[in-house]
């Protein structure tokens, strides 16, 4: 294998996600082109690379790099190039020159051992210094980790993913148990982790290997929403994966059960294998649901009939019998589930309940699983609603991220109303109920026919199926809602009927087209010109394209690229930043794609200064304000007021959101929804996916595609079964209390 040493000059191309790079390496013998996955290939970096020469028909001779090892820069020119490479936020070319002019060859030692001296440089204050020190420290850790991983045959591509997951603990975690990679790292399945383990000398019948296979199968099932697996299904899956005798798997299952890692239950002679936290959560939720529903409640001296009549007079409405039933049951029961589709009056009921409790000077708390759902709840009630995580004061503690409220520090409220309850998984429900004390009334509001939670469990449906708590089903569409074809068609689709299409002067339209590329073109035209011109809607703030899938001409990836070019085209002076396959541009509509509870936001309050807070959550929508190449910072605005700074190495938390998947839209509401209706994987062309998508729209739905695929989705009501047993746990607890 060929070995070269030198300094990285120009970086011709770089994928920020997987670090695939094309760069020029300046060696003593001249310049060479190197290609491969190279996390250290930044201008000014001194490196040692190993690989083989290849010949590219267009670009000529190149070295395909197998391993890359950093060497500390030894010249001021090299140090300046290294610092200005974009590796460290707030240090661009101008600042790098100032630092090196000041400290010379001692620059890197100053940053590592005496960083306070950087404040001698104009423009570097406490805030910038803290970030520089943090990232510089991470780079040192990264070097050590990548060298270790390369020694195990792990490519830099996967090395970066592993480091992002484990950080400074990477070496310790993998040294102890390399099979953990298959549980935690996307793209590393059991077989890849197995090869890494073999490089470490772990035998095929090692307990670590067998336990790793068992854990991997459990996590795969959990990823599909299951809280347990029947043993008769689990054993063959695991044996097929690790190719060892069944008796070794049986023995390892017993060992893991004794350790408390898994739990084995007997349900009518059938053995069920649980990952232990799911079993604990189902038991806790089952017990707490019964405790709350059986708890003695304080009597309420309130004239509900008078309040209902007052609301009817003020709002010009008439409550239906089921609505009145829901209000009355909420006064009399510790737990009530209110479920129904769009237009059935769930929000009206919530507002009535809030008013009744407020008249009694009782405390009401509102929450929802996502930031978007909480914002909608705030808008429809006029009261602050929080995400469940924020309600429970989820924050960073010494042991890591944890909930601040629990049994020892409970939520102080008389009534807790949770909206969009179908989105809650079993682990989140467990943490929520830990903080709710008996005597507190709990109201769960949601549409049980929407998509279930992304996480494991089938919480809302299981609670309803247990028949242990009061459930009010809202089925009547109210007169004002009957005028909306969105509402009418949502109920038709949910009932297996074909929607009524293109009714004159209505709000639900279908544009017929067969070719997927033409469908995408029509969607682009609708967003750019037709809908804004006809309805006066804003393409950015009012229209949301939803798709069942990510790939294909009508998937979110292709639609986002097309819509970006139509709605926010490249222009002179408009800043851009390439992040892997995603191009971010000032003015782009973006979405946060994972919960970040410590990301700081600021709201300018004019003369009052600014409000500061933490937390940007999965599904939050924003717009890019600025891309600062000098400071390596992207600034985005969320909820039209929260300004957030992302360092460039955090940009994998963002994605373009002109189009998003229906799954990602759960809990949200948009004035206008546009959806492609075309071929896709049968598992995605389902009735509840279509139903969830169209119920995200408030004012207008436009479907573009083929009616045969629309009919296919309506007919496909095969909701994949989730192995969950919360309903059984609740019924069991009823026999105890």
Which tokens hold the place of 697?
């729209």
Q: Is the pLDDT of residue 461 over 90?
A: yes
Residue with more model confidence, 477 or 471:
471
Q: Is the pLDDT of residue 526 over 70?
A: yes
pLDDT band, residue 70 (cuts 50/70/90): confident
Which of 106-110, 175-179, 289-293 is modeled with the greatest confidence? 289-293
Determine the average pLDDT of the residues in 375-403.
Answer: 86
Name, in order, each residue with C-beta under 8 angstroms of 158's C-beta and a sequence gap of 6 or more: 149, 185, 187, 188, 192
The answer to whether 684 and 550 are in contact (CB under 8 A) is no
| pLDDT tens digits, one per residue of 541-583 | 999 999 999 999 999 999 999 999 999 999 999 999 887 778 9
Q: What is the pLDDT of residue 608?
A: 61
Which residues on neighbouring strands pair with residue 357, listed in sequence order? Answer: none
pLDDT band, residue 47 (cuts 50/70/90): confident
State the average pLDDT for the chain. 89
Give the CA distances from residue 315 to residues 305, 319, 662, in Å, rounded to whole numbers and listed in that order.
15, 11, 33
Residue with more model confidence, 615 or 270:
270
Which tokens hold the place of 524?
């682009």
pTM for this entry: 0.79
Q: What is the pLDDT of residue 736?
A: 80
Which tokens hold the place of 373?
């759902």
Which tokens hold the place of 597?
């509870």
The answer to whether 617 and 370 are in contact (CB under 8 A) is yes
The answer to whether 527 and 658 are in contact (CB under 8 A) is yes
Determine the average pLDDT of the residues in 713-728.
Answer: 88
Which residues on neighbouring strands pair with residue 55, listed in sequence order? Answer: 61
Determine the average pLDDT of the residues in 100-104.
Answer: 91
% of the chain surpassing 70 pLDDT:
96
Q: What is the pLDDT of residue 380?
A: 92
The answer to whether 638 and 621 are in contact (CB under 8 A) is yes
For residue 517, count other CB atoms closer than 10 A to its CB: 12
Give the CA distances from residue 18 to residues 50, 225, 336, in Å, rounded to whole numbers and listed in that order.
19, 28, 48
CA dihedral 252, 258, 262, 266 (to 10 degrees): 100
Q: Is the pLDDT of residue 692 over 70?
A: yes
Tokens 């010009």 — which residue? Answer: 316
Directed axis angle between helix 346-359 and helix 371-381, to 10°?
60
Distance separating alpha carbons of residues 702 and 728, to the nearest angstrom = 42
Which of 4-8, 64-68, 484-488, 545-549 is modeled with the greatest confidence? 545-549
Q: Is the pLDDT of residue 119 over 80?
A: yes
Which tokens hold the place of 349?
């009921």
Directed axis angle between helix 156-166 and helix 126-151, to 10°?
130
Q: What is the pLDDT of residue 483?
A: 77
For residue 205, count other CB atoms closer than 10 A to its CB: 11
pLDDT band, residue 92 (cuts 50/70/90): confident
Name, in order, each residue with C-beta under 8 angstroms of 443's C-beta and a sequence gap of 6 or more: 330, 335, 336, 338, 350, 353, 415, 416, 417, 418
SS3 track for 470-508: EEEEECCCCHHHHCCHHHHHHHHHHCCCCCCCCCCCCCE
Least trusted range by pLDDT, from 55-69, 143-157, 338-352, 565-579:
143-157
Distance separating alpha carbons of residues 218 and 462, to the nearest angstrom = 21
Residue with more model confidence, 440 or 581:
440
Q: What is the pLDDT of residue 75?
A: 77
Residue with more model confidence, 161 or 572:
572
Q: Is the pLDDT of residue 606 over 60?
A: no
Distance separating alpha carbons of residues 41 and 23, to the nearest angstrom = 7
Q: What is the pLDDT of residue 506?
A: 87
How do strand 30-37 and strand 508-512 relate by DSSP bridges?
unpaired
pLDDT band, residue 733 (cuts 50/70/90): very high
Which of 236-245, 275-284, 477-486 is modeled with the greatest confidence? 275-284
What are the percentages of helix, strand and coil residues in the chain, rounded to 5? Answer: 45, 25, 30
Q: What is the pLDDT of residue 86?
A: 62
Q: What is the pLDDT of residue 394?
A: 85
How do strand 30-37 and strand 394-397 relate by DSSP bridges?
unpaired
Determine the average pLDDT of the residues in 631-660.
Answer: 89
Which stretches within 360-469 are classed as H helix? 371-381, 388-391, 426-434, 459-466
Q: What is the pLDDT of residue 273?
A: 96
Distance separating alpha carbons of residues 659 and 677, to the nearest angstrom = 14
Distance separating alpha carbons of residues 312 and 491, to the nearest angstrom = 25
Q: Is the pLDDT of residue 168 over 80?
A: yes
Determine the average pLDDT of the residues in 265-289.
Answer: 94
Determine the average pLDDT of the residues in 289-293.
Answer: 95
When computed from its CA atoms, the radius of gyration of the chain, rounded to whole angstroms, is 29
Determine the average pLDDT of the residues in 436-450.
Answer: 95
Q: What is the pLDDT of residue 400?
A: 67
Q: Is the pLDDT of residue 710 over 70?
A: yes
Q: What is the pLDDT of residue 367?
A: 97
- The closest alpha carbon to 226, from 396, 455, 549, 552, belongs to 455
Q: What is the pLDDT of residue 481?
A: 58
| pLDDT tens digits, one per residue of 394-439 | 876 666 678 999 999 999 999 999 999 999 999 999 999 999 999 9
Q: What is the pLDDT of residue 533?
A: 95
Tell me phi and psi for residue 466, to 5 degrees: -65, -25
Directed axis angle between helix 516-525 and helix 556-567, to 10°?
40
Tell me phi and psi for residue 522, to 5 degrees: -65, -45
Degrees, nearest 5: CA angle 252-176-213: 35
- The closest alpha carbon to 597, from 401, 436, 463, 324, belongs to 401
The answer to whether 336 and 330 are in contact (CB under 8 A) is yes
Residue with more model confidence, 371 or 500:
500
Determine the average pLDDT of the residues in 677-694.
Answer: 92
Helix (H, G, I), strand (E, B) or coil at 119: helix
Distance separating alpha carbons of residues 11 and 9, to the nearest angstrom = 7
Q: How many CA atoms lie within 13 A of 2 on its CB side?
A: 11
């Amino acid at each position: 294998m060929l070995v070269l040493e030198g300094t990285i000059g120009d970086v011709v191309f770089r994928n920020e996600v997987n670090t695939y790079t094309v760069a020029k390496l300046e060696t003593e013998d001249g310049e060479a082109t190197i290609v491969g996955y190279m996390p250290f290939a930044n201008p000014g970096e001194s490196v040692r690379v190993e690989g083989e020469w290849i010949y590219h028909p267009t670009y000529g001779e190149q070295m395909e790099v197998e391993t890359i090892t950093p060497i500390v820069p030894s010249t001021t020119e090299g140090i300046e190039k290294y610092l200005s490479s974009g590796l460290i936020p707030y240090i661009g070319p101008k600042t790098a020159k100032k630092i090196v002019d000041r400290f010379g060859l001692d620059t890197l030692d100053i940053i590592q051992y005496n960083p306070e001296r950087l404040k001698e440089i104009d423009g570097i204050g406490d805030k910038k210094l803290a970030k520089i020190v943090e990232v510089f420290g991470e780079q040192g850790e990264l070097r050590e980790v990548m060298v270790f991983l390369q020694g195990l045959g792990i490519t830099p591509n996967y090395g970066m993913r592993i480091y992002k997951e484990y950080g400074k603990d990477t070496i310790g975690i993998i040294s102890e148990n390399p099979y953990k990679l298959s549980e935690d790292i996307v793209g590393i399945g059991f077989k890849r982790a197995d090869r890494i383990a073999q490089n470490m000398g772990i035998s095929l019948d090692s307990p670590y290997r067998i336990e790793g296979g068992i854990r991997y199968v459990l996590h795969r099932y959990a990823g599909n929403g299951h809280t347990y697996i029947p043993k008769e299904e689990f054993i063959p899956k695991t044996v097929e994966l690790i190719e060892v005798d069944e008796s070794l798997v049986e023995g390892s299952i017993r060992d893991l059960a004794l350790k408390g890692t898994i739990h084995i239950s007997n349900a009518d002679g059938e053995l069920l294998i649980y990952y232990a936290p799911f079993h604990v959560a189902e038991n806790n939720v089952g017990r707490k649901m019964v405790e709350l529903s059986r708890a003695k409640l304080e009597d309420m001296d309130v004239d509900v009939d008078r309040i209902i009549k007052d609301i009817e007079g003020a709002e010009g409405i008439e409550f239906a019998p089921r609505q009145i039933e829901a209000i009355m049951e909420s006064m009399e029961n510790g737990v009530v589930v209110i479920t129904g589709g769009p237009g059935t009056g769930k929000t009206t009921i919530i507002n009535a309940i809030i008013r009744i409790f407020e008249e009694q000077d009782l405390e009401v708390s509102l929450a929802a699983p996502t930031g978007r759902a909480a914002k909608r709840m705030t808008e429809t009630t006029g009261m602050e609603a929080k995400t469940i995580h924020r309600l429970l004061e989820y924050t960073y503690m010494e042991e890591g991220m944890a909930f601040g409220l629990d049994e020892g520090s409970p939520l102080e409220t008389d009534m807790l109303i949770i909206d969009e309850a179908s989105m809650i998984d079993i682990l989140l429900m467990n943490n929520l109920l830990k903080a709710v004390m008996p005597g507190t009334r709990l109201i769960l509001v949601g549409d049980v026919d929407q998509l279930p939670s992304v996480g494991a469990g089938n919480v809302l449906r299981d609670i309803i199926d247990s028949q242990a708590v009061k459930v009010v089903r809202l089925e009547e569409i109210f007169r004002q809602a009957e005028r909306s074809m969105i509402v009418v068609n949502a109920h038709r689709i949910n009932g297996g009927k074909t929607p009524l299409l293109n009714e004159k002067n209505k709000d639900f339209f279908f544009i017929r087209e067969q070719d997927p590329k033409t469908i995408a073109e029509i969607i682009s035209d609708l967003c750019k010109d037709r809908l804004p011109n006809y309805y006066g809607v804003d393409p950015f703030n009012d229209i949301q394209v939803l798709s069942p899938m990510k790939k294909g001409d009508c998937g979110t990836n292709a639609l986002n690229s097309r819509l970006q070019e139509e709605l926010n085209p490249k222009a002179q002076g408009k800043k851009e930043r390439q992040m892997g396959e995603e191009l971010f541009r000032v003015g782009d509509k973006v979405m946060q794609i994972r919960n970040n509870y410590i990301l700081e936001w600021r709201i300018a309050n004019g003369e009052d200064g600014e409000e500061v807070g933490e937390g940007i959550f999965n599904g939050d929508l924003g717009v890019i304000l600025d891309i600062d190449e000098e400071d390596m910072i992207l600034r985005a605005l969320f909820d039209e007021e929260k300004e957030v700074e992302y360092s460039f190495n955090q940009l994998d938390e963002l994605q373009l959101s002109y189009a998003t998947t229906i799954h990602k839209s759960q809990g949200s509401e948009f004035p206008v929804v546009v959806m492609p209706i075309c071929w896709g994987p049968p598992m995605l062309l389902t009735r509840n996916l279509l139903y969830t998508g169209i119920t995200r729209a408030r004012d207008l739905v436009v479907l573009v595609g083929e009616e045969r695929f629309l009919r296919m989705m309506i007919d496909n009501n095969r909701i994949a079964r989730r192995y969950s047993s919360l309903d059984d746990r609740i019924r069991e607890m009823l026999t105890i209390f």
